């Protein structure tokens, strides 16, 4: 990866007494797909709103390296806006307009006119696979197709940085696969840096790097593979009628660290398949079900935050 295109330093933000961001620092490299993974209330949406210039940082600093210049978000908000594209979680299309009419209206807001605008509309609709349907009403499109129009609209101004808030919202599995294929193509063909917020673990796996958000802070930041390698052991999950008593009994019997996560008991253990028979024999009558797996991003979240992946509001 090349040098950072986005730098965040000690960013904090409050809504009344609630601290939504608490000293967040991170860097996004040019040309990478960077994800912010966390449940509702973790701070990722506030961070997205700041990066997309919707709100001004209260504390800390955000800079964009654009057009050969370092632009401070506080001092050069309008210049930053000219070089970024944004796709919001909530739909922003007019369903009574065609695909090309939605893009044309968006282009007018950015001062684009005439033949250049029409060329860009054709290019963007072609890029997202809608070159044959420019004159169809958006209201007749499927959810996946409307998301593609949103993506084309975000790319119309040829941004250096594209921000997407929960891009898979409302999409079926097939449409989600298509969306991520388009994002990888855009990154490859146009060199666009892509920032994504998500609460979906499988979606986060597509990112080059991830910032795991919890309590308004970055709990961990690395590639998905490197994050999972931090655990380095098998993950054993136990369920029983009394999870608290089961956790206490396992800890007392084997003198190992266990975690109570909601209604289950979680253990990280090398060669977990060899340890499971000992567990079952020692906890006769207490264990209802047992599962064994390699670490997932959800396991990483639990490992670095100490709690399950649940809303933090």
Could you tell me which of 27, 11, 20 has the C-alpha nearest to residue 59? 11
3-state helix, strand, coil split of the chain in percent (to 5) is 35, 30, 35
Phi-psi region of 170 (alpha: psi -120 to 50; beta: other; left: phi over 0): left
Query: Given this model, what pLDDT does residue 2 score?
Result: 61
Tell me what the mean pLDDT of segment 89-102 comes to: 92
3-class DSSP state for residue 130? coil
Q: DSSP code of 137?
A: B
Take residue 246 and report the two structure tokens written for it: 């089961």
In whole angstroms, give the CA distance from residue 103 to residue 31.
25
Query: Given this model, what pLDDT does residue 177 score?
Result: 87
Between 125-139, 173-187, 209-223, the lowest mean confidence (pLDDT) is in 173-187
Residues 6+ apart with CB under 8 A from 311: 39, 40, 41
In whole angstroms, give the CA distance from residue 99 to residue 141.
9
Q: pLDDT tens digits, residue range 136-147? A: 999 999 988 898
Residues 6+ apart with CB under 8 A from 25: 8, 9, 10, 11, 218
CATH architecture of 233-294: 2-Layer Sandwich (3.30)
Query: Given this model, what pLDDT does residue 182 score?
Result: 85
Q: Which ranges of the chain does DSSP label H, i.e. alpha helix?
A: 44-51, 77-82, 99-109, 114-127, 143-155, 173-190, 201-204, 224-229, 243-254, 272-282, 297-305
Q: Are 97 and 138 in contact (CB under 8 A)?
A: yes
Question: Where are the CATH 3.40.50.300 domain residues in the chain?
Answer: 4-227
In sign, the C-alpha dihedral spanning 243, 248, 249, 253 is: positive
Take residue 101 and report the two structure tokens written for it: 């009419």
Between 162-176, 238-252, 269-283, the lowest mean confidence (pLDDT) is in 162-176
| pLDDT of residue 34 exceeding 70 | yes
Residue 91, classified by CB atoms within 10 Å of its CB into exposed (0-12), middle (13-18) or buried (19+), is middle
Task: Tell me the backbone φ, ψ of residue 151, rounded to 5 degrees.
Answer: -65, -45
Q: pLDDT tens digits, residue range 181-213? A: 888 988 988 889 999 999 989 899 999 999 999
Take residue 211 and report the two structure tokens written for it: 């910032």
Q: Return the percentage of the chain with pLDDT > 90, whole number.
A: 72
- Under the banding of pLDDT at 50, 70 and 90, the label for residue 1 is very low
Question: Where are the CATH 3.30.70.790 domain residues in the chain?
Answer: 233-294
CATH architecture of 4-227: 3-Layer(aba) Sandwich (3.40)
Query: Given this model, what pLDDT does residue 139 score?
Result: 95
**CA-CA-CA-CA dihedral for 13, 16, 19, 24, to nearest 10:** 0
Summary mean pLDDT of the chain: 92
Tell me what the mean pLDDT of segment 103-111 comes to: 94
**CA-CA-CA-CA dihedral for 175, 179, 185, 188, to nearest 10:** -150
């Amino acid at each position: 990866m090349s040098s950072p295109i986005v730098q965040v330093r000690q960013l904090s933000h409050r809504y009344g007494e609630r601290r939504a961001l608490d000293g967040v620092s991170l860097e996004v490299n040019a040309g990478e797909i960077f994800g912010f993974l966390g449940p509702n209330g973790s701070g990722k949406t506030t961070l997205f709103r700041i990066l997309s210039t919707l709100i001004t940082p209260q504390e800390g600093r955000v800079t964009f390296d654009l057009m050969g210049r370092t632009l401070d978000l506080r001092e050069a908000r309008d210049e930053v806006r000219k070089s970024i594209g944004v796709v919001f979680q909530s739909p922003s299309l007019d369903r009574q307009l065609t695909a090309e009419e939605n893009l044309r209206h968006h282009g007018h807001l950015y001062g684009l006119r005439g033949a250049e605008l029409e060329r860009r509309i054709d290019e963007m609709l072609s890029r997202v696979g809608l070159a044959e349907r420019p004159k169809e009403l958006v209201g007749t499109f499927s959810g996946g197709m409307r998301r593609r129009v949103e993506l084309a609209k975000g790319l119309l101004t040829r941004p250096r940085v594209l921000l997407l808030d929960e891009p898979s919202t409302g999409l079926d599995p097939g449409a989600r696969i298509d969306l991520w294929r388009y994002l990888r193509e855009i990154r490859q063909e146009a060199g666009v840096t892509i920032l994504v917020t998500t609460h979906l673990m499988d979606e986060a796996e597509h990112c080059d790097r991830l910032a795991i958000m919890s309590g308004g802070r970055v709990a961990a930041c690395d590639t998905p593979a490197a994050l999972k390698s931090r655990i380095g052991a098998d993950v054993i999950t136990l369920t029983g009628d009394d999870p608290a008593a089961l956790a206490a009994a396992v800890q007392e019997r084997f003198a190992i660290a266990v975690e109570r996560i909601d209604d289950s008991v979680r253990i990280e253990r090398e060669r977990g398949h060899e340890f499971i028979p000992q567990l079952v024999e020692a906890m006769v009558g207490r264990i209802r079900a047992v599962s064994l797996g390699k670490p997932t991003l959800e396991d990483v979240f639990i490992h670095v935050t100490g709690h399950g992946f649940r809303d933090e509001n």
